[in-house]
Structure 1
Amino acid sequence: MDMIKTVLITGANAGIGLEAARQLALHEGINKIYLGCRNLAKANDAKSKLVEATGRDIFEILILDASDSTSVRNAAAKLKSPIDAVVLNAGGTGGQTPHKLTDDGVTNIFASNVLGHVVLVEELIKRQLVTSTILYAGSETARGIPKMGVFKPELNSTSIDEFASIANGSKFGSNADPLDVYGTIKLAGTLWMASMSRQHPHLRFVTMSPGGTTGTNGMDDLPFLKKLFFKYIGGLFMPMIGMMHSVEKGAKRYLDGLFDPRFESGHFYASRTGSPTGPVVDQLTIDPLFGDTAAQDNARQAIQQFS
């Protein structure tokens, strides 16, 4: 995938997004990286750190809030020339009000993990502003990690209505634990990606989980005790038992997904059964749902109702 010279990363000012930008800047052939960030001050700080760390001043800030469709469309409108690849990295557990509905009628947690990226990709394709690869940050939670108490998402019918209920939160209710719904939301995003790969065969659509990664910001908005466990206690203990790896390894997976042609369009790659770390495998070998074209298309059609 040597044709990739320019890349846009959402959620680029911290964690895996920031590290992916650093690694990309050191990759041969890359000459421009757009940092998609919500906050200008944090974006400027990230840019300064990246220029210092890499010795390359190739970073351009693009103000983009993945949970706000208007912000996403405004960001796409500011791009003056095509980009080769997009890393849909923004996400997390939905802020302080994960189940509150946005103006589009989806929950905040769904907006930041899926809908904002759907709007971005649709805008880029419509404006002919993306030429090569769309990479979506998947998650092992989309197939379950029982060892970590994260069970396989339960889908009843994989109908358009069911995927719409995931988007607007009615499937879960307003008191659901964001961690319990996160995997189902990531599953919907993964199926959307697979459907898009058949809609747009001239582009690559690769879903790649960065794995269980220490030092990310995705857990910052959890209740205090859960944040304490996952971010701090878990960050020390989990790597010892192979349940988390470094942010460098997480970002390296993104680069592999972008540049290694063995990762096929329309497929979902993540760790093997039982763990969010270790070698990456095609998740179709774990769960046939990931290859179900009817479920993929239903997820896409349901999500597009909100975009």
Structure 2
Amino acid sequence: MENIKSVLITGANAGLGRECARQLALTSTIEKVYLGCRSREKAEAALTALVADTGRNIFEIVLLDVMDPGSVRTAVSNMKAPVDAVILNAGGTGGRHPTALTPQGVMNIYAVNVQGHVVLIDEMLNRQLITSTVLYAGSEAARGIPKMGVARPALKDASVNEFLNIAVGRTFTAKSDPMDAYASVKLTAALWMSSMARKNPYLRFVTVSPGGTTGTNGFDDMPFLKKLMFKHIGGVLMPLFGMMHSVETGAKRYVDVLTNTKFKSGGFYASKEGSPTGKIVDQFPMFAALANEEFQDNANQAVHQLV
């Protein structure tokens, strides 16, 4: 496991984050799992359940809200020791109004999926609080899922300004399909991660999609029809057609990539083309923009202009 003994997971009180914490605790080499959560009440409930489920009292709560950069900075300032790995799992639509702007001037959907995690990693790197791996929860949406009505993000020139426009709401409006905004935001994050891998060669930065996962709460605030399709109807029918899998399977992708160095730093691993489930593969051959180092660095520059 590349000597990974301690892991911090954002969005750890439910869904993929909590299941990942459970699976990691069942791995004997893991000695500490930090549960990054914004609600102490929900975090304590998750911790109690995880101890009961795993028989191991190795969990510790870290209060942080990735929608609030100040909260993230405070959480890092309170950390007493480095962690070996960070799993950037928190995400979703960012509330009922994905394209509305936060007090920091970025879309809610961008804040929850990108900005908070950029702040977290920068602050931790500045204090030398990561020793091994950063794992980002990507999405097949970043290269498009036509079978689910999610188009490939259409980059015009992949300039710094284009990535800034995505983040600050110039590309999308309240009338835009939230999944289009989500796809572009997830693409921005995957590019940022690849750039960070080259700029920090002593650490491993890997993007992996948990895939189409049933029972997650990241899309609870989507418009009614979208929520009905993705969370309820989709959660029942899509697994029958191989378009969704369980939370356990999605979280296992995190654990497998975290613990296996064959998944290279700077890479983006997700399902095969046209599908959000099945074996995970390198995404670069499917979408040339993902492997473009200029695009990666432009995304990195843009996200850092906004923190």
Q: What's the offset of the Cα at 1:97? A: 2.1
TM-score normalised by the chain length of structure 2:
0.99
Contact kept in structure 2, 1:207 and 1:269, CA below 8 Å: yes
Q: Say whether residues 1:226 and 2:264 are aligned partners.
A: no
Q: Structure 1 regions of 5+ residues with no counterpart?
A: none
Q: Match of 2:245, SS? A: coil
Q: What is the 5 A alignment of 1:113-262?
A: 113-262=113-262
Specify the alignment match of 1:43 in structure 2: 43
Specify the alignment match of 1:264 in structure 2: 264
Specify the alignment match of 1:279 in structure 2: 279
Spell out, residue by residue over 1:230-289, the C-alpha distance to the aligned partner (whole angstroms, 9 max, x if none).
Answer: 111110100000000011110000011111010000010000011000011100121111
Specify the alignment match of 1:86 in structure 2: 86
Q: What's the offset of the Cα at 1:103? A: 2.4
- Superposed CA RMSD in Å reads 0.8
Distance 1:12 1:90 in 2: 8
Distance 2:173 2:233 in 1: 29
Distance 1:133 1:167 in 2: 26
Q: What is the 5 A alignment of 1:99-118?
A: 99-118=99-118
Distance 1:251 1:3 in 2: 20
Q: What's the offset of the Cα at 1:224? A: 2.1
Contact kept in structure 1, 2:2 and 2:261, CA below 8 Å: no
Specify the alignment match of 1:56 in structure 2: 56
Which amino acid in 2 is paired with 1:164? L
Which amino acid in 2 is paired with 1:162? E
Q: Match of 1:189, SS? A: helix
Contact kept in structure 1, 2:65 and 2:71, CA below 8 Å: yes
Q: Match of 1:251, SS? A: helix
Q: Match of 1:197, SS? A: helix
Distance 1:229 1:158 in 2: 31
Distance 2:56 2:28 in 1: 12
Distance 2:159 2:285 in 1: 23
Spell out, residue by residue over 1:107-149, the C-alpha distance to the aligned partner (whole angstroms, 9 max, x if none).
Answer: 1110000010000000000000000000000000000010111
Q: What's the offset of the Cα at 1:169? A: 1.2
Distance 2:50 2:153 in 1: 37
Q: Match of 1:205, SS? A: strand
Contact kept in structure 2, 1:2 and 1:29, CA below 8 Å: no
Q: What's the offset of the Cα at 1:104? A: 2.0
Query: Which shows bigger deviation, 96-105 or 21-30?
Result: 96-105
Q: What's the offset of the Cα at 1:174? A: 3.2
TM-score normalised by the chain length of structure 1:
0.99
Q: What's the offset of the Cα at 1:177? A: 2.0
Q: Match of 1:105, SS? A: coil
Q: What's the offset of the Cα at 1:34? A: 0.5
Q: Match of 1:237, SS? A: helix
Distance 2:96 2:179 in 1: 13
Distance 2:100 2:81 in 1: 35
Which amino acid in 1 is paired with 2:223? P
Distance 2:10 2:28 in 1: 21
Q: Match of 2:105, SS? A: coil
Which amino acid in 1 is paired with 2:17? G
Distance 1:228 1:289 in 2: 32
Distance 1:180 1:162 in 2: 15
Contact kept in structure 2, 1:94 and 1:178, CA below 8 Å: no
Which amino acid in 1 is paired with 2:280? V
Spell out, residue by residue over 1:22-46, the C-alpha distance to the aligned partner (whole angstroms, 9 max, x if none).
Answer: 0000112101100000111111110
Distance 1:5 1:78 in 2: 20
Specify the alignment match of 1:26 in structure 2: 26
Spell out, residue by residue over 1:36-75, the C-alpha distance to the aligned partner (whole angstroms, 9 max, x if none).
Answer: 0011111111001100000001110111111110011111
Structure 1 residue runs of 4 or more that deviate by more than 4 Å after TM superposition: none
Q: What's the offset of the Cα at 1:101? A: 1.4
Aligned length: 307
Distance 1:280 1:229 in 2: 24
